[in-house]
Structure 1
Amino acid sequence: MTDPVTNPITNSVTNPVSNTATDIISERTPHVIAAEINMIKYQTERIYLAAAVEIGRRLTEAKGLLKHGEWGKWLEESVDFSQSRANKLMRIFTEYGAGQLTSSNSDPDPNLNYSQAVLLLGIPKEERAQFIVDLDVEGMTNQELRKAVKERTQARQEKDQALQEKDLALQENTDLQKALEDQSGIITGLTAELANLKVQLENVKTSKEELAKTARQLNDSLESLQKSSAAKGYERMKTNFINTSLKVRANHIAFLCENLDQTMKEVKHKLLQIAPSDKEAYIIYKNKVHDLLNVWLKDETWSRQAHPGGDAQ
C-alpha cells in the first residue's frame, strides 16, 4: 500500500493511489507505475504550491514587522532562507494568493501545481487568468506550458517592438514636418531679403543717374564760364568745379560703401542663422563671400590706380 500524503496547510490526508485502483489493476506494468508516479508528483506539487503561498504570506507579514536591515539576518537565523528564495515565495503569494487568479471567465481556484505556477510567472498578471483558460493549462505538460509561455512572451515582445517602431515613425514624421516648416520660413525670409536687395539696387541705379545728371550740369556750367569769364575767374571756377566733382564722387563712394557694409552684415547675419540647420549651405555661401573678397583684394587695378605715376582717370 502507498503511504498517504498529508497536506501541511489543511492537515487533510490524501491517498495519491487508492487501494481500490491498485487492487483492480492486478498486472503491474512500467506504464501503470509511471502513471502512479506522475499522479503522486502532480498532487505533491499541488500541495507544495499551497504551502509556498502560505509561506510567502507569512514572509510578507514578517518583513513588514522587521526593522530596516534586519530582514536578511532574520531569514538566515529563523527560517534558513536566502533572500532570493524568500523573494520568490513572496512573489508566489502575491501572484497566487486568494483571489489573485479569479476572473469572469476563469475558475476561481485553478487546478495548478507548483511547476505550472512558477512557469506562469512569465505571463503578465493581468493576462494570466485568461491565458490559463484559453490554453487549458491544467491539462498541459510542463514542457508544453514552457513552450506556450515562451511563444506568448515572444509575441508580446514583437508587439511592443512594433508599437515602439510605430511611435518612432510618428515622431520622425513630426520632426520632418517641423523641419519643412522651418525651411519654409527660411525661404520666405530669403525671398523678402532678395526683394529688399532689388530695391537697394534700384536706388543705386537712381543715384548713379542723378550723379551723372549733376556732372552734366556742372560740365555745362564750366563750359559757360570758360566762354564768359576771364582767365583768372575761369581757373577759380575750374577749381571749384573740380572740388565739387570730387565731393560728389566721395559722397557717392560713401553711399556705396555704406550699402556694401550693410549688405555684408546682412549676409553674415543670415549665414549665421542657417548655420545650425543647414551647415552645407552655410559653408558654400561663406566660401563664396571669401572668394569674392579675395578677387577684389587681388585685383591689380587697385594698385595701378593708386600708384603715384598711374592714370587717375
Structure 2
Amino acid sequence: MDNEITNRTPQVIAFEINSIKDQAGKMLLYSAIEIGRRLTEAKSLVNHGEWLQWLEESVSYSKSTAENLIRLYEEYGSNLPIDHPDSANSQALGNLSYTQAVLLLGVPKEEREAFIADNDIVSLSTRELQQAVKERDQALSEKADLQNTLNSNSGAINQITVERDELRKQYSSLTSVSKVKEATIKTLQQQLEGAKKNNASTEKIAALEKELKTVRAKVSANKVVFHYDSISKQFSELLKEMANLAPADPETHQKYRSEISEFIGTITKKL
C-alpha cells in the first residue's frame, strides 16, 4: 500500500481527476436528457397556459432552462429508454460530455454524427470544440457567399450572352446591308466606267459620281454607327466596373483611371 502511494505522481493524479471529470460530464448529460424527457412528458399533461407557473413552482426552472433540457432530450435521447447510463441503450450518446453535447447543438442533427467522427470530438478540449464548430459555421457561410457570388456572376454572364447575341444580330444585319451596298457600288463603278468610255454627257457622269459617293458614305456611316454603339455600351460597362473597383482597390482603380484617360486622349487626337 505504501509503495502504491509512493508511486503516485502529479501526472497520475491529473489523469484520475480528468477521468472523474469525464465520467461526471457524461453522467450530467444523461441526467439532463432524462430531465428533458420528463419535462416533455409533463408539458403534454399540464393545462394550457399553466406551463411556466408549473415550471417555477414545481421544479424551479425558468422557461429557457426547461427549453434547453427539452432540446437535449429531443436531440440526443428521444430514442433512449429510461435506463442507467451504462446500459447498452445509452451508447447512442457515445462518449460525449454534457458540455460537448451542448456545443454540438450548433451542428444540425443529420450532420452531427459525421462531424463527431471527422473531428475526433472525444480528444478535443472545450475550447478546441468551440473552434471546430465555429470553423464549420464559417466554412458554410463562405460556401454560401461563394454560391451567391456564382449566382450573381451567372446573371451577369447571362446578360453578357444576351448582349453578345444582340451584337451578332446587329453585325449580321450590317454585313447584309453592306453587301447590298457594295454590290450597288460595284454596279455604279461599272456604269461610271462605261459612261466615261462611251463619252457620255458630263451631267450623266456627274450624276453617277454623286450617287457613287453617296452610297459609299452610307456604307461608312452604317459601320461608324455600329462601332460607336458597340464602344458606347462597352464604355458604360467599363464605368460601372471602375465604380465597383474604386472602393475595393483604390490603387488599381487609380492605375486604370490614368491609363483609360490617356487612351481617351489618344483617341480624341486621332478623331
Query: Higher Cα Rg: structure 1 or 2?
Result: 1
Considering fraction of residues, name the structure with more helix: 2
| TM-score, normalization by structure 2 | 0.49
